[in-house]
Amino acid sequence: MLQFKINIKILFVLLALPLVVGCARETKKDSVESLNIETYLKAASSDTLYPSDAQIAMLEKVIPKEAFQPAPKITDRTYWNAIAASSSGQAYLEKAKSLLEKAPEVPISDSIYRVANRDGNRGIYKPRYYRTMDRLEHFILGECIENQGDFLTQIETYANAIMSMKSWVHPNHDDNNNGILEGRRVSIDLGARKFGSVLAIADALLAEKLPEQLRTDIANNIQRRLTDTYLKSTKYSDENNTWITSTSNWNSVCTSGTILATITNSKDYDKRIAAIGSALNSMTYYLSGFGDDGYCSEGLGYWGYGFGHYLYLAQLLYDYSDGQIDLFKFDNPEKMRNVGNFPENFVIQDNRCAPFADGVSRVSSTGSNFANILSAHYYSAIKPTEIRLEEAAEQLMVWNHPSLFEINDKAQEPQLPNHTYFDDFGMVISRGKQHTPFSIAIKGGHNKENHNHSDVGTYTLVLGQDIMSGDIGAPSYRAGAFSPDNPARSSWGHPVPKFNDILQSNGIERKGIFKQTDFKEDTDEVVIDLKAAYDFPALDVLERHMTNNKSGSGTITIEDYFVAKEAVTFETAIMTLNDYKIIDNNTVILTSENQKVKAEIKGEGFKISIIDELVPVEHLREGGPAYRIGIQADRVANTGKISVVYTPL
């Protein structure tokens, strides 16, 4: 990853570069109309993602005949000397040189692949992959900047090693029998798209600097491992690339890399058009994963990863079509603007957010912020103060379009309202306005959301900068992390009710519905109907009431009320990653690094008892250990209520 700020002294040089890049493309006539995305999507086939004849006819009007050139070739010294004179180019070259003496870690052996697949051990494969790709990308662009031949030997070594690997997918994405490794099928995943797109960039930029046989091998590998399998899946919906209809980050990430590789590498105009047409159809699925309100159920980290690659695809196709294909607006500009502004709307306070699903609880200051920067330009989101990139394709876009990647000199804090209501997906953030604000995020949603934890009704309680109680976040990605039996991935590991030891079920119909919302200056109240989240016919009513009384230091109340056709056991829970002390069956003190909160517990219709236990998940993304403080009714009942009143101390 490279962090840099544009040097103002050479900005005028960089601003001229898009003109240079544009000269390499076929000139479009002013009379050509932009692709109408809404009309295009209506012309799609009902049973395949592969573009229909009508869609292909539309695309032929806006897509040039020649392959895409992601940046001028190394022989264009006007372009590359300008990059070499820039602060970002110099920093990029410096890092590339620092990596030059590192011993290659590819090819990654079949034995490592098989162990990683069998044991779910990402640690023996993925670090090698990440280091390899980071080095290769730097070698490619470093050579373009310096033009001395110092990187060519390593580029050839890495490219040949990568192409010698039988599988380009991450081992944990192969089937249990290693079908991809053993050649029974060809699939694209988060790793394969990166291998292919980086090799495509190498060939496009270095061109004749590479041996002819290497260039031929690169073209053939991209064609077989990406383009052909992608087009086959979009036409016939086979088992190999099921992500093409996914609403998760996989779709945008794999699609963007596949399209970059295909339109850069393929000499077949029809295949380039078919790939682009399929991608446009596929993005309807990806974007349907966001609410019209912009809500991203995958959380803030995956918003950056997934939506960042969507924007990479959008900029890629905008450039290739000379602005005739505009995915930044797609068929719903208002929704796209909401998605682009999701991060600042999702913040609870002090850069903290809810770690729902596989999300993160803190706004990151590391990793790529490509999505944030382009969202600032296209959707008027807050401009970052620095540019952080993780991929060569992103870096080229920054160099090609410096005016799109403007940054602020000083950090701009979002002006957070008293509350935010994502009314499409069903999630509320109620923000306290005390000197040390006491706030809560609480969700309804459904149990088929991306990276779902069967957690309808979960919440996150924040005092100042500290998360005090609520959602404990996701298990770290290692063996068993995605098992339905993982306690952190079930409703048992969340602060939600259970009846007769019955937990929430999965499915889009297993949902929570906001029945009531009442937002006032000093008090916010919501009522969520949780009944549908449980496959429990005896349950007539299950409602979760949340009240945030913002007066004084604040109090936040979570109240669960139920009615059943028969007498049932009833239990809810306080979840925490903090130290705690059980004072009695009605009082628990939670203590974080900087804050302390008292939880007062009351039962109606029965007495309650507390049974605390360690969450048996060793590795959590939010740290740990985590604890479940179970709150149980002391007898079976047909109706009752448990309330937990949180008060700062």
What are the residue ranges in the chain where pLDDT is below 70? 1-31
Token output for 477: 């990605």
- Helices and strands, number each (H, E), in the chain: 20, 20
pLDDT, tens only, 451-477? 888 999 999 999 999 999 999 998 888
Q: Please enumerate in sequence order all residues whose Cβ is within 8 A of that of 108, keeping only pairs 6 or more positions apart, or say none.
A: 125, 128, 129, 165
Torsion of CA 547, 549, 554, 556, to 10 degrees: -10
Strand runs (DSSP E) across 445-586, as ranges? 445-447, 459-463, 466-470, 498-499, 507-519, 523-529, 539-549, 555-568, 570-576, 579-584
Phi and psi torsions of 463, nearest 5°? -120, 115
Residue 17: per-residue pLDDT: 53
Token output for 104: 């290659």
Query: Which secondary structure element, helix H or strand E, spans residue 393, and what is its range?
Result: helix 392-400
Residue 625: asked if its preceding bond is cis (omega within 30°), the reply is: yes
Alpha helices in 210-307 (DSSP H): 212-222, 229-236, 249-265, 269-288, 300-302
Query: Which secondary structure element, helix H or strand E, spans residue 430, and what is its range?
Result: strand 427-430
Burial class (CB in 10 A: 0-12, 13-18, 19+), 407: middle
Strand runs (DSSP E) across 60-109, as ranges? none
Contact 68, 297 (CB under 8 A): no
pLDDT, tens only, 388-423? 999 999 999 999 999 999 999 888 888 899 999 999
Strand runs (DSSP E) across 506-553, as ranges? 507-519, 523-529, 539-549
Radius of gyration of the chain (CA): 26
Contact 601, 470 (CB under 8 A): no
Residue 4: per-residue pLDDT: 38
What's the CA gap between 167 and 182, in Å, rounded? 8
Domain boundary assignment for the chain: 419-648
Residue 11: per-residue pLDDT: 45
CATH classification for the domain delimited by 419-648, as one of 2.60.40.1250, 2.40.50.140, 2.70.98.70, 2.40.30.10? 2.70.98.70
Strand runs (DSSP E) across 117-160, as ranges? none
Residue 451: per-residue pLDDT: 87
